[in-house]
Structure 1
């Protein structure tokens, strides 16, 4: 994903963006209604037209729309704030931007605010007498469209407030966002770059971060173009989600690169105050784990939500691993051959997804612990090459932690049995086939 496109996506997700865009559109419609008045001659006989509208009637319609839309817009914003507060308390504050940046909510509020501004400007124009018969007809047609848009927005808003704030809706949006980030990561975990060799450190000119924060995104396409233009090899040393400071090396440039080129390499990395979902699947897994941990807290005590989150994380990792398995030959040239990148290991994603939950599940309900081991067992069985060793190690660590916290012997025995089964998992592909010979 291009760096400019990444920033544009962040801009368009801001809650103020669409309302501002709708307000500008409303002003443009009002101005066009005035400028288009010349399409109909001012001396035209009103009786010759199939429909006419007086300025007073149009002013009354716009007054009703303006007064109602102001109240509805304030109500919608206050409702959204309450729903976002509820979502932050029941799920995770890190997931709130997925709701506030939701297109349905932003579009609905934008229609309300845009309709209010449209009505106010229309009333001002009618009161000043700047509209002729043609201008009033165009303004009336635009008003009818606005009324239909408001009705559609109200229906959509009723549906939206029925789901915003629900934990299931939050996990669903987190799953969708994390899946998109896994797609950008790629089936090989390299964002389309060449796999970096770990045998030795790359040599060349170092590009430092120069700031404190988190790597939110890097643009491998722009780095590839720089490398091709100057015959360079760019070794990326950080990943989206990594914490960096002023001295952290973002990349090493091998070849003859001037200061302008090094500055361009630096600009292809976006460093911000917090992690984002777009290019960082680990952050998605972390926020999902936060939802499960909060559900296991004594104040909430909702183990079913934790079990649901474990199922979601298992599905995400299994689907990604199966996509990786079906990728084809590893010898295929990557899209960005002059940019090297240390692949994100499946074990790192598994650790980010399950380990935070294991802390709370060890001292929580035994059914959550069994659900965690069930998810690890599924991953070890579905993709043993990617997850078997990491799942076995995490299961052993969780069992030891749970054993020290549990007081009921049968619960401990059940956890140990489930963990032991993970270590003996063998995929169907690795099972010996029975002989078909006639002996």
Structure 2
């Protein structure tokens, strides 16, 4: 467990996180489900015909054949129209991703990739297309009720249900995509994801706890990439069995290359490679699975893009600062620093570095503050942010806020020569220019 009475991070699930970052798994799984559904429906249709033959209900069989023939045209139309719908979905997705990455930041593309409604819509469309093609193979040319083996009655009903579901999902998909093309919903989504990570983030004491002397180092093996996940439970178990303490050297989000020291071993010999398998996950880019600082990184990137001369959208920067303040306000009362994960006996087994309060503040404000002096809307919002956070924090955490405030004031004084304009830019305002 960690130093506070909080649940540890979720156990590492590289496969689960990898599948959530891909766009192929859900459609592929749905196609398999569509084939299974068709096999089940086809078997049920055969049982229905067999039952009616046993009852010599040939008139009912003739009615089912008539209904099936009437719906054949609909099934044919559905099978051809679904590909058009799929093309529309792809076109909307590509346009939305292009606009979001160009106007906000390329880091928000992962929101579209992980969007459940997008995956569900594409999956149901593909399932409807495949299911309708399979249903077409079930139609028979004979109308003699004594020779009929199967009538795709239930299959036709399921095709209609899938079409109705596809239409409803298409409406929901368009609505969701239009929302994600707006700045407000995007920064709100990033903030909510960050708070979910914050809820399970391990926190500890600013002062490191004494651990045995370092006796060895474990280096990274495998591909280079960003450290995305740490399996705390497995690492604590491996250290306990070895009677040692492991100290994670890089922080989540750090880029590691083969040969980089990943763990320092304290007070004993290092666990075997087999015991450390699947304890860390390295990927191409950072994720929010266990890395709350990545949320601030995205908000800062969006604000920086908005303040660039090519975009010049200070209102978007103010919206991002609103969320930065919200996140830092939630961090303010939490103990931050080195985390000591313990085993069931209370012995420290894993030491994990966590960003300090000053590092979080710098991440949220440093780059935006440097680009802000020319924009009074942003400087006023920054000053209000510093004032609000100073009220929410104790004396021990006010120094970085006061430092950023003083630096901002000096930058505005150098940049804005006119006294009245300078006074206006240095007036705190939570709306920037309300």
TM-score over 0.5 for the pair: yes
1:239 aligns to 2:258 (yes or no): no
Cα RMSD between the aligned structures? 3.2
Task: State whether residues 84 and 96 of structure 1, in contact with CA within 8 Å, keep that contact through their aligned partners in structure 2.
Answer: yes
Secondary structure at the aligned position of 1:280 is classed as coil
Normalising by structure 2, we get a TM-score of 0.84
1:41-94 deviation line (CA, Å, top 9, x unaligned):
532525347972544334322111111111011011111100110111111111
Task: State whether residues 212 and 267 of structure 2, in contact with CA within 8 Å, keep that contact through their aligned partners in structure 1.
Answer: no
CA distance in structure 2 between the aligned counterparts of 1:309 and 1:296, rounded to whole angstroms: 11
Task: Return closer, same or farther for 1:257/1:274 CA change in 2, 3 Å cut-off.
Answer: same
Aligned to 2:105: 92
Task: Return closer, same or farther for 1:385/1:237 CA change in 2, 3 Å cut-off.
Answer: farther
Aligned to 2:232: 220
Structure 2 residue aligned with 1:21, among 8, 29, 38?
A: 29
CA distance in structure 2 between the aligned counterparts of 1:173 and 1:208, rounded to whole angstroms: 36
Aligned to 2:156: 140
Structure 2 residue aligned with 1:376, among 368, 382, 386?
A: 386
CA distance in structure 1 between the aligned counterparts of 2:210 and 2:244, rounded to whole angstroms: 20
Gaps of 5+ in 2: 1-8, 430-434
Between 9-18 and 286-295, the greater mean CA deviation after superposition? 9-18
Counterparts in 2 of 1:165-184, with a 5 A limit?
Answer: 165-184=181-200
Secondary structure at the aligned position of 1:185 is classed as coil
Aligned to 1:435: none
Task: Return closer, same or farther for 1:128/1:372 CA change in 2, 3 Å cut-off.
Answer: farther
1:275 aligns to 2:291 (yes or no): no
Aligned to 1:229: 241
More helix, by proportion: 1
Normalising by structure 1, we get a TM-score of 0.83
Structure 2 residue aligned with 1:406, among 409, 413, 416?
A: 416
Counterparts in 2 of 1:76-155, with a 5 A limit?
Answer: 76-126=89-139, 136-155=152-171
Task: State whether residues 342 and 350 of structure 2, in contact with CA within 8 Å, keep that contact through their aligned partners in structure 1.
Answer: no
1:59 aligns to 2:72 (yes or no): yes
Between 60-69 and 194-203, the greater mean CA deviation after superposition? 194-203
Counterparts in 2 of 1:384-399, with a 5 A limit?
Answer: 384-385=394-395, 387-399=397-409
CA distance in structure 2 between the aligned counterparts of 1:293 and 1:201, rounded to whole angstroms: 44
CA distance in structure 2 between the aligned counterparts of 1:7 and 1:317, rounded to whole angstroms: 32
Task: State whether residues 239 and 349 of structure 2, in contact with CA within 8 Å, keep that contact through their aligned partners in structure 1.
Answer: yes
Task: Return closer, same or farther for 1:70/1:11 CA change in 2, 3 Å cut-off.
Answer: same
Alpha-carbon distance, 1:26 to partner: 0.9
Structure 2 residue aligned with 1:299, among 290, 310, 319?
A: 310
Aligned to 1:47: 59
Task: State whether residues 26 and 117 of structure 1, in contact with CA within 8 Å, keep that contact through their aligned partners in structure 2.
Answer: yes
Secondary structure at the aligned position of 1:240 is classed as coil
Alpha-carbon distance, 1:132 to partner: 6.0
Aligned to 1:427: none
Task: Return closer, same or farther for 1:333/1:8 CA change in 2, 3 Å cut-off.
Answer: closer
